[in-house]
Structure 1
């Protein structure tokens, strides 16, 4: 079964969606023995950045209380508290910062919840509590890639997680942007680690993205590189970039069949008819995507959580981003050497994968198709460690 990102429903339009990882309908079955996870998990923060001392680093643990559905944040002593507009200070922002210890590692307590662990370097992040359409408190998250956002000039990055009764599901992510090198290590039924960059990886990523002229607008000085979908929305990436590739795919599969193996014993066969990819097996027709649809794995490539159309759309989204559809009529591809070889491809994601030690990264929303994302899970977790790795 393909594990893919799901998002909370009912989020305020003013707040960025918090990923819920490990939804039973979406997550890969755990191969380890299942047992009920503890209600809390030790979280150790290790600052090995070499560029910032502990006093310059702030941690934020924010997300959703899975029991109540409320937007919530974690206090330095491990309490999970619902956010409130009264949390906003005189400057209009809520200060949810958790400081690191003066020196050495910092150990915190992570409660059952789904959300993000943010790291801000050199300055604090500004969160704002607003009221959603239902009159409930909702947390606005940083959109640091937008120049008008209050966090644009703050070096920051995040890991995503869901910690609940059946285990811990977590990943580093570049789906929105990349700025701060981070790795995660999960202990439990087994010991797993992912996210570590190669030596000099941060500078290699910042420089490497600009080697393709179309992607040059993704770099925002030395602060970060942003995902091409966000750059497109900001007018810094061509909105027709994938059009020629999409045209070739549509032409090829008018007379050729595509087989999609969803990894659970099912294989769906599809072919282009008019403006839609039509598949057997009850899959809803998948329309001709735009460049933006490809980059966000959304629009025509949106993957509903229905167990049928969703997995097929996710695999198509991954194949477009990896540019494997013209080379292979069986998807998903599983050989990374065959990814990103076409001139029109997601060079942003390509650079991310090229600069991680294990070759895994979350370069786009369905980069976990065929298990190429920097994602780990454990049904019996005992501890998690997040490291700010050397630049």
Structure 2
């Protein structure tokens, strides 16, 4: 698979999370998930069918089917929609809010496997365990009905006490593009199997991987407060916004990168070509297919790959920003002046690194995870795609063992 930072960036705007930042009320969902491509690598392909089978499997070992609730929500043709238990697509409606002020879009599980029909749309498949999620239908800025998504990392969010997680997807005529994600938090082990032109799986944890991830994050002093009991690990960017993570954590690393590349070149290779950069004045300026430059980022910019490391959908600045963001999070920029680094053995080798992302990768069988927004750089994200999909299977994998 061609690394997606090497492709034309069809949708490279980072959503800080469809559920928003550390606000009392989660934000309204907007567009597609974090970094899902809109077209497969290699050009044209046969159009995917209008719908395909979705199978939900509960192998959690900790919750029976009666305590597992599934939600399929997202966007199609500019409208916010949901999938009903019978597999039809329904628009979000204010009238769907019940007496408690929230919708009940839950789909229950039945038998050993629950089979549904998934139509063309972009969105998320949420699972909650032990209690239902509280999605609220509201009016967006254009006067249309929209959903407020769960923001489990926010203590004031009504879904904070609920054990839940999600997978992300875009399914359209170009195929299925999907991933498990830890960009906001990690809570419920999920894996995806996608069949079609190939048979692919992603998101499978190692035996004991969930407990190992919790332990690994808890043992690093600067990250320990991100662990919320045995419920979830909050991603450090959201932890920073909530006062649980140091706002200057990456400052020494950022300063070292700026100092190092004042005196020598850093090259960044993308699909547009090779960019060569040095720090000139206070900006990291790259020449090549186009001139792009970046002001010194903050720790928050590094964690969210935003702000001074924002990646516009322009084919030049965006891909370079994505590679720099990955290099900061993986702590490879100093030792590897040719980016992106493609050897996973070189990642997270310094004490000052993204220990949350490190733990997410270590917990997975194939070493792939979405631990930060541009973890897809050099294909290290828990992402798979197929231009001719025939079925998708989402499995709640064991919490233990």
Q: Secondary structure at the match of 2:213?
A: helix
Secondary structure of the residue that 1:254 maps to in structure 2?
helix
Q: Output the CA distance in 2 between the equivalents of 1:19 and 1:212.
A: 33
- Give the C-alpha shift of residue 130 in structure 1: 1.0
Q: Is the 8 A contact 2:272 2:316 kept in 1?
A: no
Number of the residue aligned with 1:74: 83
CA distance in 2 between partners of 1:138 and 1:283 (Å): 39
Provide closer, same or farther for how the CA distance between residues 55 and 362 of structure 1 changes in structure 2, counting only shifts above 3 A: same
Could you tell me whether the CA contact under 8 Å between 1:182 and 1:388 is conserved in 2?
yes
- Is the 8 Å Cα contact of residues 78 and 109 (structure 1) preserved in structure 2? yes
Counterpart pick for 1:274 among 254, 270, 281: 281
Distance 1:127 1:50 in 2: 26
Which residue of 2 is the match for residue 139 of structure 1? 147
The answer as to whether partners of 2:292 and 2:317 remain within 8 angstroms in 1 is: yes
1:375 aligns with 2:383: yes
Please state whether the residue corresponding to 2:4 is helix, strand or coil.
coil
Which segment drifts farther, 326-335 or 268-277?
Answer: 268-277
- The answer as to whether partners of 2:19 and 2:150 remain within 8 angstroms in 1 is no
Between the aligned partners of 2:14 and 2:104, the Cα distance in structure 1 is 24
- TM-aligned CA deviation for residue 260 of structure 1: 0.3
Residue by residue over 1:114-166, the C-alpha shift from the partner in whole angstroms, topping out at 9 and shown as x without a partner, is 00000000000000111111111111100011110000010000000000001
* C-alpha distance in 1 between matches for 2:320 and 2:183: 20
Residue in 2 that maps onto 1:94: 103
Q: Does 1:384 align with 2:392?
A: yes
Give, in whole Å, the separation in 2 of the partners of 1:22 and 1:224: 24
Q: Quick check: 2:19–2:151 contact (8 Å CA) kept in 1?
A: no
**Equivalent residues of 2:165, 2:186 under 8 A apart:** yes
Q: What CA distance in whole angstroms lies between the structure 1 residues aligned with 2:13 and 2:115?
A: 28
DSSP-derived class of the 2:255 partner: helix
Quick check: 1:161–1:171 contact (8 Å CA) kept in 2?
A: yes
Does the C-alpha gap of structure 1 residues 63 and 324 become closer, same or farther in structure 2, counting only changes over 3 Å? Answer: same
Confirm whether residue 41 of structure 1 aligns to residue 49 of structure 2: no
Give the Cα–Cα distance (whole angstroms) in 1 for the partners of residues 297 and 37 of structure 2: 26
- The answer to whether the Cα contact below 8 Å between 1:270 and 1:277 also exists between their aligned partners in 2 is yes
| Per-residue CA distance 1:325-357 (angstroms, 9 max, x = gap) | 110100000000000011111000000000100
TM-score, normalised to structure 1, is: 0.95
2:41 to 29, 33, 36: 29
Q: Which residue of 2 aligns with 1:197?
A: 205
Shift of 1:12: 11
Superposition deviation, residue 283 in structure 1: 3.5
Match of 1:19 in 2: 32
Question: What is the root-mean-square deviation in Å for CA atoms of aligned residues?
Answer: 1.7
* Corresponding residue of 2:229: 221
Distance 2:327 2:123 in 1: 28
Aligned to 1:321: 329
Point out where structure 1 has 5 or more consecutive residues left out of the alignment: none
Structure 1 distance, partners of 2:363, 2:31, is: 26
Distance in 2, Cα, partners of 1:133 & 1:351:
38
Matched, 1:105 2:113: yes
TM-score, length-scaled by structure 2: 0.92
Q: Deviations over 1:221-268 (max 9, x none)?
A: 111001000000000000000000001000000011010011x26111
For structure 2, the residue ranges without an aligned partner over 5 or more in a row are 6-10, 21-26
